[in-house]
Amino acid sequence: MKTSLKICILFGSIIIFLSSYREDDTTIKLKWNKAYAGETRDTVTTGLLWSLSLLGADLPLGCKDDGIEWNESNLITLHLHKMGFAETNLKFLKVLCDSIKISDEYKLTGGIDIGRWIVLTLHSPWHYYKITGTAPTLQEFYNRHSIDSNIFFVVCNSGVAKKPRRIKMEVGSKINDLCFVAEQSNDSNCNVNFTAIEYETFDVMPNSQLRFAIYDRNGNLKDASDTTNSHAGKPGKCMWCHESKVQPLFFRTEETNSNLTLKDFTKMVDSANAIIDTYRK
């Protein structure tokens, strides 16, 4: 009887230890250093929640109060396990948190500057890819989706590409049907020849936020686009224009041998945004 009791107590202690370890491992302290006069705790909290959503967090009801704790010295305790991350995505965040906690900054100040933390997660391509569960190769991206023959060429007036750009897309009736692939080329005339040397993609995460990736000519992930042919930059820069929607064309482009007309393409973009808006509501 005593032995059984000891085993039960030991087992209970292990469960408690594992539970507390998991919580500690996914909790990070962020320090707010006020940047401008109008910046408040509310605006910082809103920005933090938005950044977490761009990383794939579902942000369940009550997470703002349960997962973000402020103290008097403007230090935030962020409970990542309460923000609605999938377990597979949370695993990498655990590793990243561990690395941050052994830094000199963290040891000296008791936390990491909130801006620095966002740069290390949302705006560091390789961390961003891991946290958001990005397809490791272009082929895997295609395996996840069903891109048909919807093709549109953007030439002359692209706000991103320096040479002709070929956009392939899938716009179905469901949120997980949406995906776009922009193929970059160094050819000057897409009507004669088009050889893709780089691929910029986005699809939609379960929380309705767009997920961006850049692949090289062999279909492997890369941290940023080649500046020789594109202004796209890192995935974090894609968010400048695509932060909350599928971006329509900035400039009118000439008609080419695309199987989609300009009117068709615009209609598909509008349809994609309508699907995203409906899903979010």
At 62-73, the pLDDT tens digits run: 999 999 999 988
C-alpha 60 chain-centroid distance: 18
Answer yes or no: is pLDDT of 136 > 90.
yes
Answer yes or no: is pLDDT of 7 > 60.
no
pTM: 0.84
CA distance 211 to 176: 12
Place 159 in a pLDDT band, splitting at 50, 70 and 90: low
112 or 189, greater pLDDT: 112
271 or 12, greater pLDDT: 271
- Residue ranges per domain, the chain? 26-132, 138-280
Task: For tokens 């997980």, name the residue.
Answer: 176
Tokens encoding 110: 């008791």
Would you say 244 and 53 are in contact if contact means Cβ atoms under 8 Å apart? no
Spatial CA neighbour of 68 closest among 36, 32, 92, 33: 32
User: Which pLDDT score is estimated for 212?
Assistant: 94
Most confident of 7-11, 107-111, 163-167, 265-269: 107-111
Name which of 106-115, 242-251, 271-280 the model is least confident about. Answer: 242-251
C-alpha 190 chain-centroid distance: 31
CA distance 224 to 124: 10
109 burial type by CB count under 10 A (0-12 exposed, 13-18 middle, 19+ buried): middle
pLDDT per residue as tens digits for the range 229-269: 766 778 877 777 777 777 766 666 666 666 777 788 888 88
Contacts of 15 (CB under 8 A, 6+ apart): none
Name which of 9-23, 52-66, 158-172 the model is least confident about. Answer: 9-23
